[in-house]
């Protein structure tokens, strides 16, 4: 291992470029392709949409459970072996999904894909950049998530175009080839290099990761992040059905989803200046409050241009939310045990995100329409903002601007 803070600038640039490329590809194919293809999968197979969505939700549960040990491994040895293995596993997992002759194989393929997601999506990438970039990690995280914001912008319309010319199975097989060609060699060669030692904790309390994980501030951070993520991602995954319910064509609905991804880019561009003008508590409370407003407006609006504009605005808020979550641990307890603590924070968040797509369809059935379901999701986001007010430890007041 290298000493903390000794990472060469050339290595850091290579790592950042690699992760920008692989996060766009991994998120776009493993995650954002599904909401575009779900209706086609149901129509072709005869499997119900709630059942299909439950399979994807199960993949998110697998990702959450995988993320906890992965955070510990990355803290010790770095991300190269973990993220390469995740990319390799994703290939047979998606092939199983694409060729599934029955629901059992479909579910099994998504479970394996979920394990792969736990190894290649944002949490391990955040841990890698936080350690390699040291005090410059916020800028690196902003650049990474800025790039990652294009995942839905690129892959939602691409997926829609592919399925219009072939079918959902051929579309997934094509995307799997892209995933393998891009991410496996990138993780294997782009993430090579010495793994720095962890930084020294700012205080004895911050060095005790077990005590931090049991503290009231950490538990409230988990609660707020989980409620906020549930509301935001249930809204994302049910946006295309909502828009179709409102009279959008499938292609226009997919484009609107993609424009939300462009909004995420705008939110991430503005994060650094926002960080200099706000506190960590203000950022997290404000983000979840705005999520509540945007979600309620989505359920209320009916005009095409209004819904597109709201989708972009909601994307801006999600872009900020991603960086608020990525920096939540370092804002409060430093980077000494970032991989471990972020894994513990991410696990319940990913679990509720796993439930979010399925729960959104259940809410639609319960309330009678997707529009009414969005009002329920807005109330959940408001509860997240309330919980976030208690997510700061007292000692953090000395460190957070």
Tell me: do 163 and 222 sit in the same domain: no
For the chain, what is the domain count? 2
Tell me: do 182 and 259 sit in the same domain: no
Tell me: do 152 and 22 sit in the same domain: yes
How many Å apart are CA 52 and CA 327, to the nearest integer? 33
The tokens describing 119, both together, are 């190894």
- Residue 113 domain-assigned (yes or no): yes
- Residue 219 domain-assigned (yes or no): yes
- Residue 50 domain-assigned (yes or no): yes
pLDDT score at 97: 98
- Residue 287 domain-assigned (yes or no): yes
Tell me: do 108 and 155 sit in the same domain: yes
Tell me: do 214 and 261 sit in the same domain: yes
Please report, for residues 11, 49, 200, 214, 340, the alpha-carbon distance to residue 210 in angstroms, rounded to integers and kept in the order given: 32, 41, 16, 6, 10
pLDDT score at 386: 94
| Domain containing residue 16: CATH number | 1.20.1250.20
The tokens describing 194, both together, are 């010495």
Q: What is the pTM of this model?
A: 0.75
Tell me: do 182 and 267 sit in the same domain: no
Tell me: do 179 and 280 sit in the same domain: no
Tell me: do 43 and 157 sit in the same domain: yes
How many Å apart are CA 287 and CA 276, to the nearest integer? 16
pLDDT score at 236: 80
pLDDT score at 106: 98
Q: What is the mean pLDDT of the chain?
A: 85
pLDDT score at 395: 56
- Residue 397 domain-assigned (yes or no): no
Looking at mean pLDDT, say which of 6-20, 32-46, 172-186, 192-206 comes out highest. Answer: 172-186
Write out the residue range of the structural domain in which residue 107 sits. 10-191
For the chain, the farthest-separated pair of C-alpha atoms sits apart, in whole angstroms, at 60
Tell me: do 276 and 127 sit in the same domain: no
Confidence of residue 2 (pLDDT cuts 50, 70, 90): very low
């Amino acid at each position: 291992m290298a000493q903390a803070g000794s990472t060469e600038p050339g290595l850091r640039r290579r790592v950042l470029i690699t992760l920008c490329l692989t996060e766009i590809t991994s998120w776009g194919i493993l995650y954002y392709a599904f909401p575009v293809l779900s209706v086609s999968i149901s129509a072709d197979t005869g499997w119900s949409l709630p059942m299909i969505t439950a399979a994807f939700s199960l993949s998110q549960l697998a990702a959450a459970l995988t993320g906890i040990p992965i955070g510990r491994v990355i803290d010790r040895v770095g991300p190269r072996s973990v993220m390469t293995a995740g990319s390799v596993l994703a290939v047979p997992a998606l092939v199983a999904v694409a060729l599934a002759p029955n629901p059992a194989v479909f579910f099994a393929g998504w479970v394996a894909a979920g394990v792969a997601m736990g190894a290649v999506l944002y949490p391990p990438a955040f841990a890698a950049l936080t350690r390699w970039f040291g005090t410059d990690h916020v800028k690196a995280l902003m650049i990474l998530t800025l790039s990652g914001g294009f995942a839905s912008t690129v892959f939602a319309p691409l997926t829609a175009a592919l399925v219009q010319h072939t079918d959902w199975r051929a579309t997934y097989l094509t995307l799997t080839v892209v995933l393998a060609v891009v991410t496996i060699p990138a993780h294997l060669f782009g993430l090579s290099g010495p793994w720095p030692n962890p930084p020294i904790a700012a205080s004895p309390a911050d060095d005790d990761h077990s005590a931090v994980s049991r503290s009231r501030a950490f538990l409230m951070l988990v609660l707020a992040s989980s409620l906020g993520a549930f509301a935001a991602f249930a809204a994302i995954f049910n946006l295309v059905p909502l828009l179709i319910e409102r009279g959008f064509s499938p292609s226009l609905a997919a484009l609107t989803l993609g424009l939300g991804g462009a909004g995420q880019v705008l939110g991430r561009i503005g994060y650094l200046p926002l960080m200099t003008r706000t506190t960590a508590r203000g950022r997290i409370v404000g983000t979840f409050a705005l999520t509540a407003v945007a979600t309620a407006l989505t359920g209320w609006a009916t005009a095409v241009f209004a819904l597109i504009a709201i989708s972009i605005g909601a994307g801006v808020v999600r872009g900020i939310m991603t960086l608020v979550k990525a920096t939540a641990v370092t804002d409060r307890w430093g980077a000494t045990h970032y991989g471990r603590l972020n894994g513990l924070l991410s696990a319940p968040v990913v679990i509720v995100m796993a439930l979010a797509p399925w729960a959104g369809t259940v809410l639609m059935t319960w309330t009678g329409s997707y529009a009414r379901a969005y009002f329920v999701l807005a109330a959940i986001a408001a509860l997240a903002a309330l919980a976030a007010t208690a997510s700061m430890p007292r000692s953090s007041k000395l460190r957070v601007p």
